[in-house]
Amino acid sequence: MRPNTHFWFSVLLLHFTEPFTSAKGKFNVLFITADDLRPSLGCYSDPFVKSPNIDLLASKSTVFFNAYAQQAVCGPSRTSFLTGRRPDTTRLYDFNSYWRESAGNYTTLPQHFKENGYHTFSVGKVFHPGITSNHTDDYPYSWSVPPYHPPSFSFEKRKVCKDKDGTLHSNLLCAVNVSEMPLGTLPDLENAAQAIKLLKSMKHSGGPFFLAVGFYKPHIPFRIPQEYLKLYPIENMTLAPDPDVPKKLPNVAYNPWMDIRKREDVQALNISFPYGPVPKDFQLHIRQHYFAAVSYVDAQVGKILQALDDLGLSKKTIVVFTSDHGWSLGEHGEWAKYSNFDVATRVPLIMYKPGVTSPFPRPGEKVFSFIDVFDSTQQPFGKGFSVRSMVELVDLFPTLCSLAKLPVPPSCPVPSFSIPLCTEGYSLSRTLVTDHRAVAFSQYPRPSDSIQINSDLPDLADIRIMGYSVRSDDYRFTLWVGFDPVHFQANQTDLHAGELYVLSEDPGQDNNIFYDFTYAQLLQKFSLHPQWTESLKQHLMFFRAASKTKWTV
């Protein structure tokens, strides 16, 4: 079990979920998720990124500063938080199976709301498309009507990126004139418009709704309106603070960023495999385009929030904003996701409940007003509630049920493959008091100890090693162990490698001290740290018993 939080956290969350009943019935839910968005936002203390609309939402909300995905890749992460179960229970580590057939007939988050009287709608990328959601986005189980996919998304990977000579390419960097695009628009512009259309249709419907909106950006390619680059002049861009591969990083832990290597503009650079590096000037352009994509998403979020307010729905709608995982921007010499580092696993998580995280507005008072990022002056962020303890995306399912006063799924037994409705997360509204801080767990599969072209995203049949990682306030600790893809089992006695980063000394997770100490030396070193948690001691004991040797290599 995951240890819970200190007393102050429990008191905060008691207030976060204090009883309230809407005069017109149940609370609606607006669930917004971005794709590949790390917490590079103003409300997460990033003064460089311009995100005024998400920051406004955060100022009325509870902001979870340390929220973590369970696997840093789209399909497995989305399946995990939408079912409330970890990848080892969904049995999805790639994009090639549907949990209802390969694992169990699990009830999903929107399905649970639908079965409790909600109209449920999906816009854009909510479930990962394809086999992982049965080519239907799990309709009709999860949704009242067929999910909406923007028509312009079919052009996302085509040669629509204009080079300096006017020729079209399939590039990583793809800032465009929207009027020149096929259909004269972009997917996330269509997503925002469709979400607003649905909100208008639901205003007088009489029943509560669960509207999930999945934006495609800042996922690559960076096909975004070109004007957003103006927010981030290239001369103001800087490299990642730790752009080098850590010297003591085991090969099995490294992500060789194959997905960006496949883009035409990156291929033209002839970057060596697996470490590169990417030329510094191109690194700056990647970072510029990523941040511009974040501001582009922020603008779409602002449009939806203003519509929610203009329609009088903000007084009775719970709003959640999050992402499926993060994205490396040159840290540790890596790009993309596909790892257990914080830059890949940490996500924004913002929750708004009217009358609880923010007072009910007076008649005529605005809650959300669209802020044009091009006209706004970045102001110091006025925080709502701030939570620093570790939380996980599997906590979303039980927490949203609690906020909406729906039955909260029980905790899953082990195993739980035959149990349709249960959760491996924890409702963040529980008022449990312990002496331990929370921890968060993530994992990532690899095909071998050496770096291969399929190291980023191995198919299930090729997985031979699983990296299980625990993150606390004080450390990130990862064990890479043997894995049997036929029986979905990890061999905890087959240790391949390890990582240990002490965050008080190494906040960027650049110095792996796993191999620097014997077991006894490591315990002695950390006995001086009062915040050394019992959970890591248990991991150390496990490793010692499994390896039956000293930690030295």
Residues marked active site are found at 74, 128
User: What single string gives the DSSP state of each residue in 424-481?
Assistant: SS--TT-----SS---EEEEEEES-SS--TTSSS--GGG--EEEEEEE-SSEEEEEEE
Sheet order of strands, 385-392 included:
119-124, 209-214, 28-34, 317-323, 346-352, 62-68, 385-392
How far apart CA 194 and CA 186 sit, in angstroms, is: 13
- Strand, coil or helix: 37: coil
Q: To which residue do tokens 């905790």 refer? A: 411
Cα 184 from chain centroid? 30
Helix, strand, coil shares, percent, the chain, to 5? 30, 20, 50
How far apart CA 446 and CA 252 sit, in angstroms, is: 7
Distances (CA, A) of 294 to 51, 151, 224, 341, 446: 7, 22, 10, 20, 29
How far apart CA 533 and CA 538 sit, in angstroms, is: 9
- Strand, coil or helix: 67: strand
Closest CA relative to residue 304, chosen from 149, 178, 185, 193: 193
Burial class (CB in 10 A: 0-12, 13-18, 19+), 303: middle
Cα dihedral 449, 451, 454, 458, rounded to 10, equals: 20
How far apart CA 266 and CA 64 sit, in angstroms, is: 35
How far apart CA 58 and CA 391 sit, in angstroms, is: 17
Find all residues with CB under 8 Å of 98, minimum gap 6, and list them. Answer: 131, 132, 133, 134
- Take residue 350 and report the two structure tokens written for it: 């913002």
